[in-house]
Amino acid sequence: LTRQKAEKVVGWARSHYLSSAVLPSIKGDRLIIPRESLDVAIERLKEQGIKTKRPSQNIKNLAKDEYERNFISAVVPPDEIGVKFDDIGALEDVKRTLDELVTLPMRRPELFSHGNLLRPCKGVLLFGPPGTGKTLLAKALATEAGANFISITGSTLTSKWFGDAEKLTKALFSFASRLAPVIIFVDEVDSLLGARGGAFEHEATRRMRNEFMAAWDGLRSKESQRILILGATNRPFDLDDAVIRRLPRRIYVDLPDAQNRMKILKILLAKENLESDFRFDELANSTEGYSGSDLKNLCIAAAYRPVHELLEEEKKGGPCSQNTGLRPLKLDDFIQAKAKVSPSVSYDATSMNELRKWNEQYGEGG
C-alpha cells in the first residue's frame, strides 16, 4: 500500500464518517483501521485496485477464562457459515427487514454512531411454525452481516454446568463483546427464557434467566452495539412480557403459499437432473401445508426413486444394464413421494390460529 493510497482511504473516511472514533489513521508506515470500519475500508481499497481480506480473528485467543472457552466451538465465523440469503426461497420481506435492521448497522456502524435516533436493534424474534427456515435465516443473516455466529439453546447454558449457569451466561456476553460483530442465535427461545415463575422452576434456572436479561440490558458500549440476540420460536405465546419487550422486532415466518413453495422448490432442485418442462407450478399447487423443511424432505424422497429403480434393474438384468445411469426426476416421483412425506402434523389448526393471533397482537409482517 503506498502512502498516497492510504491517505486517500483516510481522506475518504474523514469526509464520510460521522464519528471520529471509527476513523482510520496513518501511523508511521501503517494504516490503522478500527474494526468497526473495516468493511467500508476494504471496499475503498478494492476500488483502488488493492485486494485485501478482513483479517481472520483467532477466536481461541479471544476467550479469557474457562467459562468463555466453553463457547469457542460454538462460534462460526461468517466466511464459514456457508448459507446466504440467495439460498433461501421466498421470504423476501423477511430478508429485506433483516437486512435493514441487522446487516446495515453491522456493516456500516459509522452511520449509526451519531445522535440518538438511529440505534442498532439489540433483539429480534423470528417466530412461526417449525421448518419454515428460521434457523436458515439466522445463519444466512450472519453471512450477509459479516458477523460471527453463535447458536445456543437452553441446554447450552444449563445442562453441563448446572449451578454455574449464571457464570456461564455472564461469560457468553463478555466473550461476545470481543467477538463483535456477532449474532447470538437463541433457538427455542421460549425454553431458555420462557414464562417465568412456574411452580417447578429451578432456582438456578431462574438466576440464569435473570443474569441473561441483565447482561442483555448491559449491552450499551460502542463495541457491544454490534451484538444481536436473535431468538427463534414456534411458541411465542409462551414468552413473558419481559422477554417480548427485549425483542422489539418480532418477525413472522409463515408457511409458504403456492407461489412461495414454487420459489423454494426451484432452489431445492436447482442442481438436480429434472425432466424437461418440469411442472414446478403443479408440484407447488399440490403441496398445500408443506413447510420449507417438508418440501426438502419430499425432494429427498423423490430423488431416491430413480436410484431404487436403477438398483432393481441391476438386480434383474445383471451387469449389462449397469451403465444406463440415473434417469431424470419426474413430477410423478414427487407425487408418489407424497405418500411418504406428508406436511408436518406437529402443527395443527389450533396452533396456527394461536400463532396468527399472537402475530396480530405483537408481530409484524407475515
In the complex, the smallest distance separating the C-beta of residue 195 from ligand ADP, rounded to whole angstroms, is 21
Residue 74 is given by DSSP the state G
Q: Would you call the peptide bond into 78 cis, given omega within 30 degrees of 0 as the criterion?
A: no
In the complex, the smallest distance separating the C-beta of residue 356 from ligand ADP, rounded to whole angstroms, is 16
Distance, in Å, from the CA atom of 77 to the CA atom of 146, rounded to the nearest integer, reads 8
Task: Pull the grid cell for residue 28.
Answer: 508511521
Contact 233, 249 (CB under 8 A): no
In the complex, the smallest distance separating the C-beta of residue 74 from ligand ADP, rounded to whole angstroms, is 17
Note the residues at the interface with ligand ADP (CB under 6 A): 88-91, 130-136, 232, 264, 267, 292-293, 296
In the complex, the smallest distance separating the C-beta of residue 183 from ligand ADP, rounded to whole angstroms, is 14
Say which amino acid occupies 263.
K
Which residue's beta carbon is nearest to the bound ligand ADP? 292
- Count of C-beta atoms within a 10 Å radius of residue 136: 19
Question: Residue 19 or residue 135: which is nearer to ligand ADP going by CB?
Answer: 135
In the complex, the smallest distance separating the C-beta of residue 120 from ligand ADP, rounded to whole angstroms, is 24
Question: Residue 40 or residue 283: which is nearer to ligand ADP going by CB?
Answer: 283
In the complex, the smallest distance separating the C-beta of residue 364 from ligand ADP, rounded to whole angstroms, is 17
Question: Residue 88 or residue 147: which is nearer to ligand ADP going by CB?
Answer: 88
Question: Residue 151 or residue 169: which is nearer to ligand ADP going by CB?
Answer: 151
Contact 132, 62 (CB under 8 A): no
Question: Residue 45 or residue 228: which is nearer to ligand ADP going by CB?
Answer: 228
In the complex, the smallest distance separating the C-beta of residue 94 from ligand ADP, rounded to whole angstroms, is 9
Contact 126, 230 (CB under 8 A): yes
Question: Residue 185 or residue 278: which is nearer to ligand ADP going by CB?
Answer: 185
DSSP H helical segments within the chain, as ranges?
A: 3-16, 38-47, 59-62, 66-69, 92-98, 104-107, 134-145, 154-158, 165-179, 189-193, 203-217, 241-246, 258-268, 280-285, 292-317, 331-337, 349-362
The 3 state secondary structure assigned to 340-360 is CCCCCCCCCHHHHHHHHHHHH
Q: How many residues does the chain have?
A: 366
Question: Residue 37 or residue 359: which is nearer to ligand ADP going by CB?
Answer: 359
Task: Pull the grid cell for residue 38.
Answer: 473495516
Instruction: Name the one residue in this structure whose C-alpha cell is 408436518.
Output: 344
In the complex, the smallest distance separating the C-beta of residue 92 from ligand ADP, rounded to whole angstroms, is 10
Q: Are strands 30-32 and 25-27 parallel, antiparallel or unpaired?
A: antiparallel
Question: Residue 89 or residue 231: which is nearer to ligand ADP going by CB?
Answer: 89
